Amino acid sequence: MVGMISNFLTNPILSNVAQSTTRSVSIETGMKAIGRPSFILADKKLDKSTKNYAAVKEFLYQLTCLGVYMALVIPVFKNGAFALAKKGFKDEKAFGYFKNAKNYLNYLKLSKMEKAERLNVMQKKGKNLEFSEQIKNNLINQDKPEKYSIVKGAIELGNIVGCVLGLAIISPQVSHLVVHPALKLLGFEKPKQPAPTPEQPQSADIKNTRLSVNA
C-alpha cells in the first residue's frame, strides 16, 4: 500500500496537474475579479445602482476566493500534506531533511538554478537559508541536486486538494461572512431593521374588554 502511494506521489503526471491547477486558479480568479465586474458595469439593461451593487459584490467575492486560496492552500494544505506524509513515510529519509513545505520549496527553487547562479544566491542570503547539512551539501556540490520527488509529490497533492476544498467548499462560506458586511460598510446594503414588536394592550383596555364581554 505504501509503495503504491509512493509511486503515485512520484508520478510526473501529478506534478503537471498540480502546476496546471495552481496557474489556472490564480489566473482564472484574477481574471474573474476584473472581468465579471467589468461586464456587469457594461450592461446597459441594468440601472446604475443595480450595476454598482452587483459589480462590487462580484469583485469582493472573487477577491475572497483568491484570499482563501492564498491563505489556506499555500500554508495550510501544503504544510499539512507534508506533515502527514512525513508521518506516513517514516522510513523515507527525504522528509527528515526539511522542516516544512516552505523549506522544501525554497530548496527546489534553488536546485533548478545553474550552479554558479545558485551559489551566488546562497552567498547573498547566507543565514536566511535554514537548510540541513545534507541539503546544503547538495546545493553546493551537485550540479543537478536531487529533487526528492516523493516530498514534491506530497506537497503537490496537498495543493490539489486545497484548491478543490478551498474554492468549492470553504470560499462560499467565507464569502458569505465577508461580502455582505463589506457591502454594508460601503453603503451598498442597509442593515436590517428589527421587526416592530406588536403593542401590548394596556391593562385598562383589557378590563374594559372583559366588562363588555360579560355584559
Position 107 confidence tier, pLDDT thresholds 50, 70, 90: very high
Exposed/middle/buried for 171, CB within 10 Å: 0-12, 13-18, 19+? buried
Q: DSSP string covering 120-146, please?
A: HHHHHHGGG----HHHHHHHHH-SS--
Instruction: Write the CA distances from 82 to 32, 87, 156, 158, integer angstroms.
Output: 31, 9, 9, 8
Q: Is residue 182 predicted with pLDDT exceeding 60?
A: yes
What element of type H or E holds 158?
A: helix 149-165
Q: Considering only 69-73, 87-91, 135-139, 193-197, which range has the smallest mean pLDDT?
A: 193-197
| Average confidence (pLDDT) over 86-102 | 88
* Burial of 138 per CB tally in 10 Å (0-12, 13-18, 19+): buried
Range of 10-14, 104-108, 159-163, 181-185 with top mean pLDDT: 104-108
Write out pLDDT tens, residues 28-75.
777 888 888 888 888 888 888 888 888 898 898 888 888 877 777 667
Region 199-204: mean pLDDT is 52
- pLDDT at site 2: 45
Question: Would you place residue 191 in the very low, low, confident or very high pLDDT band (cuts 50, 70, 90)?
Answer: low
Residue 177 has pLDDT above 80, yes or no: yes
Supply the mean pLDDT for the chain: 78
Q: Which helix (H) or strand (E) holds 31?
A: helix 12-42
Radius of gyration of the chain (CA): 29
When comparing pLDDT for 180 and 199, which is higher?
180
Q: How far is CA 39 from CA 1, 34, 43, 45, 179, in A?
A: 50, 9, 6, 12, 20
Helix, strand, or coil (residue 188): coil
Cα(172)–Cα(184) distance, rounded to whole angstroms? 18
- Check whether 176 has a pLDDT greater than 50: yes
pTM: 0.64
Residues 116-127 pLDDT 10s: 999 999 988 877
Domain ranges of the chain: 2-190
* pLDDT exceeds cutoff 70 at 15: no
- Give the amino acid at 164: V
How confident is residue 166, by pLDDT bands cut at 50, 70 and 90? confident
